[in-house]
Amino acid sequence: MSTIFRLDSSIRLDGSTSRAVADTLEEAIVEAEGGGTTVVRRDVGTRPLPGAAWAASAFAGFAPEETWTEEQRAARALAAELADEVAAADALIITAPLYNFGVSAHLKLWIDTVITDPRFAPGTETVKGRPAFLVVAKGGGYGPGTPREGWDHATAYLRRILEDVWGLDLDVIETELTLADVTPQMAELRDLARAQLAESHDSARSAGRSVTLKLRPVA
């Protein structure tokens, strides 16, 4: 039996590309595992964490527990709850729409709060080596040679946290041009956008099927 932790951070439910690709990925993993898979979900996009939680938890980490305020105790309890969800997972799916060329504020708050738990501070190895997927959705094009090459300030940061700080075995699935269908100025890119979306779903299916090899213990 495997446990998948899935974190969604899109502020949209209907029409969210990151959610749709993550659905494909999740379904592929569950199907390949052949039943018995538990999926633990947290949606910080539509149910964001309390904005003051990170600061309260962070400052509590520098003070004796007996001096904590009620706010600090609640924040530390929340951080522990979030950390429990990640620590208990055999595999992780994290969705990350690109907002204003950077990481979602809701996702950043989740990361910052989890890191206040001692199990996920820099230098720890709580989830080192576990398979994880970062599903990125971008409204425009940010690749080499595009007018906004280098404007994606989210993906590299998320790699640093997930790969370098937490040590996860990370696979990134990226979809660009997600706003082409609703943006007149991007009309000529709509065929390319549809092709990229289809490729992302194919990548998600393939990754979901192959990750089961990492979830099964060696005989």
- List, for residues 10-31, the tens digit of each pLDDT value: 999 999 999 999 999 999 999 9
pTM, 2 dp: 0.93
Would you say residue 219 has pLDDT above 70?
Answer: no
pLDDT computed for residue 217 by the predictor: 54
Rounded CA-CA distance 144/36 in Å is 42
**First CA to last CA distance, the chain:** 16
Nearest to 85 by CA among 7, 159, 8, 22: 7
- Tens digits of residue pLDDT in 132-190: 999 999 999 999 999 999 999 999 999 999 999 999 999 999 999 999 999 999 999 99
pLDDT for res 216 = 63
Q: How far is Cα 185 from Cα 86, in angstroms, rounded to an integer?
A: 41
The tokens for 124 are: 């720890």
Chain CA centroid to CA 55, Å: 21
Residues 25 and 133: beta-carbon distance below 8 Å: yes
Separation CA 180–CA 172 (nearest Å): 22
In this structure, are residues 149 and 143 in contact, taking their beta carbons and an 8 Å threshold? yes
Which of 29-38, 96-105, 108-117 is least confident? Answer: 29-38
CA contacts within 13 A on the Cβ side of 146: 13
Dihedral sign, CA of 120, 40, 160, 212?
positive
Task: Enumerate the domain spans of the chain.
Answer: 3-215
CATH 2.60.40.10 fits 3-215, yes or no: no
Computed on alpha carbons and rounded to an integer, the radius of gyration of the chain in Å comes to: 18
List pLDDT tens digits, range 54-106: 999 999 999 999 999 999 999 999 999 999 999 999 999 999 999 999 999 99
CA distance 212 to 70: 43
Task: Give yes or no for a contact between 170 and 156, defined as CB atoms under 8 angstroms apart.
Answer: no
> How many CB atoms are located within 10 Å of the residue 11 CB?
15
